[in-house]
Amino acid sequence: MDGEYETDITPSQMDVFKDVDAVREQWNIKKWKAKWVRPSYASGEPDVPTEETEWLKVVYGSDGRHLRQFSYPL
């Protein structure tokens, strides 16, 4: 992993939520929603685990018209 850190520490849901909230504030994103999901597929991504895991699904609007979506694994 170039430029990334490997660790055996699993962050808590609150740790992940705080990280997402810090990014949201930095980018001045005012409208957003988040919820924990358990997708059971990885859609072919090589670095994504194929077993069922918890992800924080985030939907946000940058200008009030468009919503963007991304997920963070736990």
19 within some domain? yes
35 within some domain? yes
pLDDT in tens, 19-30: 999 988 888 888
4 within some domain? no
6 within some domain? no
57 within some domain? yes
Return phi, psi of residue 23, to 5°: -65, -40
Domain count, the chain: 1
7 within some domain? no
Whole-angstrom CA distances from 61 to 18, 27, 57 are: 19, 11, 14
Please give the pLDDT value at position 27.
83
- The radius of gyration computed from the CA coordinates of the chain, to the nearest angstrom, equals 14
Give, for 35, the enclosing helix (H) or strand (E): strand 31-37
18 within some domain? yes
8 within some domain? no
Please tell me the pTM assigned to this model: 0.60
Q: Which residues contact 40 (CB under 8 A, 6 or more apart)?
A: 52
For residue 69, the enclosing domain spans 13-42+49-73
Please give the pLDDT value at position 46.
75
pLDDT in tens, 35-73: 998 876 656 677 766 777 788 888 887 655 555 555 556
